Amino acid sequence: MQATVQVLKIEDVSNTYRGKSGCACGCGGSYAEAGSKAAKMRLDFINKNLGNPKMVIDIFSDGETCYEFENEEGTRVTRVYIKAVA
C-alpha cells in the first residue's frame, strides 16, 4: 500500500527561493512571494517531488517548514517555505 502524500497549497506558502545550493542570501538566486507566478511554479515543482527520497524537509523553531529539492547536478536548489500552523 502506497502512502498518500499531501499536496502543499499556495495559500500556506510564506516565501520561495530558487538559486545556488548552499546559499539562501539571494546573491546566487532569487526569492518570490506566495502570490507570484514564480512562487506557483516553485510550489508545483516541490509538489511534484514530494515523496522523493532526495527531498529535504526542515522545521524551524518558529514552526515554519522548508521543503527543499536540489537538482541532479547539486548546483541549484528550490525551496518553499510553509507558514507555521497556529
Question: What pTM, to 2 d.p., does this model score?
Answer: 0.86
Condensed to tens digits (0 to 9), the pLDDT of residues 20-74 reads 987 777 778 899 988 899 999 999 999 999 999 999 999 999 999 999 999 989 8
Residue at 2 is within a domain: no
Grid cell, residue 27, equals 546573491
CATH number for position 76: 3.40.1840
Residue at 70 is within a domain: yes
Which amino acid is residue 8, in one-letter code? Answer: L
Q: Give the structural domain span for 31.
A: 10-82
The number of C-alpha atoms within 13 Å of 20 and in the hemisphere containing its C-beta is 7
Helix, strand, or coil (residue 27): coil
Residue at 27 is within a domain: yes
Residue at 60 is within a domain: yes
Sheet architecture: strand order including 13-20: 29-32, 13-20, 76-82, 65-70, 56-59
The number of C-alpha atoms within 13 Å of 61 and in the hemisphere containing its C-beta is 0
Number of domains forming the structure of the chain: 1
